[in-house]
Chain A
Amino acid sequence: MTDELLVVRAQLGDRTALAEMVARWRVPVWRYVQRMLDADRADDVSQEIWLAVVRGLPRLREPTRFAPWLFAIARRSVVDRLRTEYAAAPETPVRDDRCVEDLSETVVARAELVGALTSLPVLEREILVLHYLEDLSVQDCAHICRVPVGTVKSRLNRARRLLREHLSEKGYQS
């Protein structure tokens, strides 16, 4: 069954379709959150995302655009979580004297330990996750991140370059 048919049936109030939708998209959504935050927070944030999805589903006008709509909600939940934690950050001791200028730098500082992907700044990491790991088109990424297509392309270029540099530093050769 296509996603569109699943969404249309769920919008009509079919609980089986809703259950199937959750079963189909639960892991991709969780994986996205896990890559943007971490596994510990992914379950909690995923639950918030599905709550927002269920509440917003009757208002979704284009069932064909379900995936971008779903990831736009996921992104909003991740950003809300980061914003909340960022607001609480001054109360926790900082580990170095570096001046933290924005949210993405904070996230990168926290995620440095996790590996190649999580070493990227959050904006670039997000685009890589959506485009390469979730197979979403450049247009869909632009819709989800609310930026022009050109910005998505430039972030993709930058993300690829940063990833290449990071892997080269670790001794990998392209």
Chain B
Amino acid sequence: MTDEPGLSAREMLDRLDTTLSRGTRIRAVAALLAGLAGAVFVTSLWWSEPGPLPDRTHLSFTLLTVFCLAWAGYGGWLLTRRVPLFATEQVVAAGIALAASVGTTGITVVAAARSGTGPGPALAVGGLFIAAAATLAVRARARRAALLRRMRQLTRQEGP
């Protein structure tokens, strides 16, 4: 009977490489953010459309929103189940999410104002996303700071 693993540590890490690759994580974050931004944008446009809309237009907006949410769901699933985001990367991802939320909200509010309807719905939906992204950013920073503190403590304890 063999008493040694068939895979060396290097080979094991090579097999984990796809999960740990930067490209996979960037794709996951991009899918989540693009999906959410698209959903906010389409929903705000839908709400701010003046006058009663034909059924076909409602159907189009619904399909577009579902499509965006599906991408967001896929990105979220990748990030929570398939791809690890370590503390430093969580800070970066939360920063990108905050910037994307602010940008999307700004564009949506301007578009709503130009179309003659009030910016209220766009501000309300966008505000929710900005608040969620800001909360994630604060939590990610706090978590990273706590890990850095602990790392310094342990390094000091172990000595040179």
A interface list, Cβ under 8 A from B: 1-2, 4-5, 8-13, 15, 18-19, 22-23, 26-27, 30-31, 34, 38-39, 42-43, 46-47, 50-51, 54-58, 63, 114
For A15, list chain B residues within 8 Å (CB): 20
For A1, list chain B residues within 8 Å (CB): 158
Given the known inter-chain contacts A54-B20, A55-B83, A58-B87, please indicate yes or no for A8 contacting B5, CB distance below 8 A. no
Give a binary string over B133-160; 1 marks a CB under 8 Å from any A CB, 0 the rest.
Answer: 0000000000010011011001100100
**Is B90 in the interface zone, CB < 8 Å from A?**
yes
Given the known inter-chain contacts A8-B150, A10-B86, A58-B86, please indicate yes or no for A51 contacting B19, CB distance below 8 A. yes
Cβ contact within 8 Å between B144 and A26: no
Q: Give complex CA distance A5, B154 in Å.
A: 6
Residue picked from B2, B83, B88, B144, most chain A C-beta under 10 Å: B2
**Is B59 in the interface zone, CB < 8 Å from A?**
no
Cβ contact within 8 Å between B5 and A12: no
How many A-B residue pairs lie within 8 Å, measured between CB atoms? 88
Give a binary string over B60-95; 1 marks a CB under 8 Å from any A CB, 0 the rest.
Answer: 000000000000000000000111111111100000
B interface list, Cβ under 8 A from A: 1-7, 9, 12-13, 15-16, 19-20, 81-90, 144, 147-148, 150-151, 154-155, 158
Cβ contact within 8 Å between B155 and A12: no
Cβ contact within 8 Å between A22 and B9: yes
How far apart are A50's CB and chain B's nearest CB, in angstroms? 6
How far apart are B72's CB and chain A's nearest CB, in angstroms? 20
Cβ contact within 8 Å between A12 and B154: no
The one of B1, B15, B148 in contact with A47, judged by C-beta atoms closer than 8 angstroms, is: B15
How far apart are A2's CB and chain B's nearest CB, in angstroms? 7
For A55, list chain B residues within 8 Å (CB): 19, 81-84
Chain A to chain B: the 8 pairs with minimum beta-carbon distance, closest first: A13-B86, A23-B9, A30-B5, A39-B2, A5-B154, A43-B6, A13-B88, A8-B151
Cβ contact within 8 Å between A58 and B90: yes
For B148, list chain A residues within 8 Å (CB): 12
For A38, list chain B residues within 8 Å (CB): 1
Cβ contact within 8 Å between A50 and B5: no
Q: Give complex CA distance A8, B148 in Å.
A: 8
Given the known inter-chain contacts A39-B2, A54-B19, please indicate yes or no for A46 contacting B154, CB distance below 8 A. no
For A2, list chain B residues within 8 Å (CB): 154, 158
Cβ contact within 8 Å between A57 and B84: yes
Given the known inter-chain contacts A9-B151, A43-B6, A46-B7, please indicate yes or no for A58 contacting B12, CB distance below 8 A. no
Q: Give complex CA distance A39, B49 in Å.
A: 65
Cβ contact within 8 Å between B87 and A39: no
For B88, list chain A residues within 8 Å (CB): 12-13
How far apart are B117's CB and chain A's nearest CB, in angstroms? 42
For A47, list chain B residues within 8 Å (CB): 7, 12, 15
